[in-house]
Amino acid sequence: MARIVFIGAGSVEFTKNVLSDILTFPELGDSTLVLHDINAERLATAEAMAGWMVAKLGLGAKVEVHLDRRAAVDGADYVINEIAVGGYEATRVDFEIPRRYGLRQTIADTLGIGGIFRALRTIPVMVGLGNDLAELAPQSLLLNYTNPMAMIPRAVYQGTPFKNVFGLCHSVRDTQARLASLVGVPEEEVSYVTAGANHQAFVLKFEHRGRDLYPVLDEVIERDPELRRTVRVEMYRRFGYFPTESSEHGSEYLPWFLHHDDQVEHFRIPVEIYLRWSEENLDTYEETRRRLAAGEGVEIEPAMELASEVIHSIETGTRRVVHGNVRNNGLISNLPKDACVEVPCLVDRSGMRPTAIGEMPAQLAALNTTFLNVGDLTVRAALEGRRDHVYHAAMLDPNASATLTLKQIHDLVDEMIAAHGDLLPEGVR
């Protein structure tokens, strides 16, 4: 049966969700589940949880645990990456230092100063993982969940011999479900084409039995003033296509919102909300540890996680369409070929096959290019050890450039590099 490896298995809540799916697919119940984390305590918690789940369901799945990454990935069929390099403390730095400069962020994991530095911390680890897979599991499939999604898979396929990497994110699926709900049409009856950069993709086709649903959406928005007070609806009205990212997250990839007090208030943008979520995640982890120690276990409830659906489709031949983040190479003809783009992928026993989209509307491609330029420079900074490209990425970031002077950006980058220290690539330090 399949050997499924979890890198960063100490992200216990996420690991629980994927395991709940895998273990409740009858065809995957005898898989070998391999857990890896560099934090021994969190790894032990993940081991206790996985063991409890397997026993509770009475399955034949085998659980392996490795602090050593190479031992974990040796012979892997599937590798699910969910790491957060530096953990909560690094995330806190990503908010606290920019805040002192007057720079607002909401999630800080995709673009902006926070996204740049999360990538710089993560890419050295991912390059190591890609090299390990090229040597020890060259036929495996790497399914990445770690943000920034437009940068992490790119660093693997551009910086290592391993190319079979796909990024997975819920934003497209959740957006499509939301749109169907808004227009009152069953989701399974709606035809979509959605593509672009991760967290800045757009719904290019939105139809029901050949009828364009965008005019119906316009009527819904016109009747609902609360919808009009969201960033994503504002972006839809200005650019003509509905974006896949939530309003709080999407606001920090753009120059028009977070720098302006009235826009933050009008669009109800929750500044620094990710810090609160991170603190809640710490509490959830401690509660999970307590429950396992008390023999209470955890809920086993299928979560429809994308990684588990991909694995199930490949193992069983069940056909699904999943949006994946892959090397562009002409899939979207008016975006850079080396960029990591998000497109529909057909998944079955032969693997994941991306769909060619062709040309995106010019205004969307222009906006995506601005987004992808920051990622390109950040990946170059990490792979080439070029500190100057960190400055360049930050200077070109839409939110930072709308808020700070060039000198402020330079000083902020220096302070961030000093704070994150050894977590960053040597050449950047």
CA dist., res. 153 & res. 57, Å (int): 34
> For this structure, is 170 an active site residue?
yes
Query: Is position 199 annotated in a ligand binding site?
Result: yes
Phi-psi region of 276 (alpha: psi -120 to 50; beta: other; left: phi over 0): alpha
At 267-312, the pLDDT tens digits run: 999 999 999 999 999 999 999 999 999 999 999 988 899 999 999 9
For residue 105, tell me if it sits in a domain.
yes
CA dist., res. 64 & res. 169, Å (int): 26
Question: Which secondary-structure segment (H or E) carries 5?
Answer: strand 3-7
CA dist., res. 322 & res. 301, Å (int): 21
Half-sphere CA count of 311, side-chain side, radius 13 A: 34
Average pLDDT, the chain: 97
Neighbours of 71 (CB within 10 A): 13
Q: What is residue 98's predicted lDDT score, i.e. its pLDDT?
A: 98
Quick one: tokens of 31?
């898989």
Residue-range definition of the domain harbouring residue 70: 3-167
For residue 19, tell me if it sits in a domain.
yes
For residue 341, tell me if it sits in a domain.
no
Average pLDDT (400-412) is: 98
Locate tokens 């220096």: which residue?
Answer: 414
Quick one: tokens of 367?
């906006």
Q: What is residue 285's predicted lDDT score, i.e. its pLDDT?
A: 94
Q: What is residue 111's predicted lDDT score, i.e. its pLDDT?
A: 97
Q: What is residue 423's predicted lDDT score, i.e. its pLDDT?
A: 97
At 43-82, the pLDDT tens digits run: 999 999 999 999 999 999 999 999 999 999 999 999 999 9
Strand partners, 322: 345
113, pLDDT greater than 90: yes
CA dist., res. 140 & res. 302, Å (int): 24
For residue 136, tell me if it sits in a domain.
yes
Q: What is residue 292's predicted lDDT score, i.e. its pLDDT?
A: 95
Burial of residue 255, with CB atoms counted within 10 A of its CB: 0-12 exposed, 13-18 middle, 19 or more buried:
middle
**Start-to-end C-alpha separation, the chain:** 44
Catalytic residue among 170, 208, 260, 410: 170
At 197-240, the pLDDT tens digits run: 999 999 999 999 999 999 999 999 999 999 999 999 999 999 99
Q: What is residue 403's predicted lDDT score, i.e. its pLDDT?
A: 98
At 133-149, the pLDDT tens digits run: 999 999 999 999 999 99
DSSP state of 183: H
Residues of the chain with pLDDT > 90: what percent?
Answer: 99
Does the global pTM surpass 0.95?
yes
For residue 107, tell me if it sits in a domain.
yes
Q: What is residue 102's predicted lDDT score, i.e. its pLDDT?
A: 98
CATH code of the domain covering residue 161: 3.40.50.720
Number of domains in the chain: 1
313, pLDDT greater than 90: yes
Which distant-in-sequence residues (6+ apart) come within 8 Å of 68 by Cβ?
Answer: 36
For residue 9, tell me if it sits in a domain.
yes
Sheet strands (E) in 155-307: 165-168, 190-197, 200-208, 211-212, 242-243
150, pLDDT greater than 90: yes
428, pLDDT greater than 90: yes
Which distant-in-sequence residues (6+ apart) come within 8 Å of 422 by Cβ?
Answer: 429
DSSP state of 274: H
For residue 100, tell me if it sits in a domain.
yes
Half-sphere CA count of 3, side-chain side, radius 13 A: 14
Query: Is position 169 annotated in a ligand binding site?
Result: yes
Q: How many residues does the chain have?
A: 429
Strand partners, 95: none
369, pLDDT greater than 90: yes
Query: Is position 131 annotated in a ligand binding site?
Result: no
* Nearest of 385, 327, 320, 306 to residue 348 by alpha carbon: 320
For residue 78, tell me if it sits in a domain.
yes
Distances from the Cα of 130 to the Cα of 121, 151, 216, 280, 292, angstroms: 15, 14, 46, 32, 33
Q: What is residue 99's predicted lDDT score, i.e. its pLDDT?
A: 98
Strand partners, 316: none
Quick one: tokens of 328?
């562009």
Neighbours of 317 (CB within 10 A): 11
Burial of residue 92, with CB atoms counted within 10 A of its CB: 0-12 exposed, 13-18 middle, 19 or more buried:
middle
For 365, phi then psi, to 5°, come to -65, -40
1, pLDDT greater than 90: no
